[in-house]
Structure 1
Amino acid sequence: MRPAVTLASRTIQRRLASSATRTYQYSAQHQADWGKQLRRVSVQIPTYAVGISMMLGWPMAIRYGEEQWALRQ
C-alpha cells in the first residue's frame, strides 16, 4: 500500500513541477503580449462601463427631464 501511495505522490509532484516550469516558460515568452492585452482590456472596461451607464441612464434622464418640464408648465 505504502509504495503505491509514494509512487502516486511522486508522479503527481513530477507532473506539478513540469507544469509549473512549462507555465513559467510560457509566461516568460508571452509576458509582452499579456501586457498589451491587459492594457487593451483596462482601456476597454471603462469604455464599456460608460456606454452601459449611458444606455441605462437615458430613460432615467428622459423621465427626469419630463418631470422638470411638467413642473415648469
Structure 2
Amino acid sequence: MSISRRDVLRLGGVSVLAGVGVDAVAGCDSRAAMSAAVPLGKADYTLRIATGPVELAPGTVVSTTTYNGRLPGPLLR
C-alpha cells in the first residue's frame, strides 16, 4: 500500500480538525523551555541596530539597517 503526499495532507488536516494535533501541542510548554535555555546574569554583548550606508559595489552605496555598524551583523552564539 502506498500513500501519496495528498493523502498525508488530508489526514493531517483531519487530525487537526478532530483535535488530535491540539492535544499534542498542549503538552509542550514553550515558556518553560525558554526559561531553561536563558542564562541568568548580565548580557555580555551589546547589539546596536541602526541605519547606515553600505557599499554594495564600487560606487554603489545604499542606506540599510546595520548591526554594530556592519552588514551582515556579528555572529552571536
The TM-score range, normalised by the shorter chain, is: 0.3 to 0.5
- Higher RCO, 1 or 2 (CA under 8 Å, sep at least 6)? 2
Compute the TM-score of the two structures, normalised by the length of structure 1.
0.34
Q: Which one has the largest radius of gyration?
A: 1
Compute the TM-score of the two structures, normalised by the length of structure 2.
0.33
- Decide which structure has greater helix share: 1
- Decide which structure has greater strand share: 2
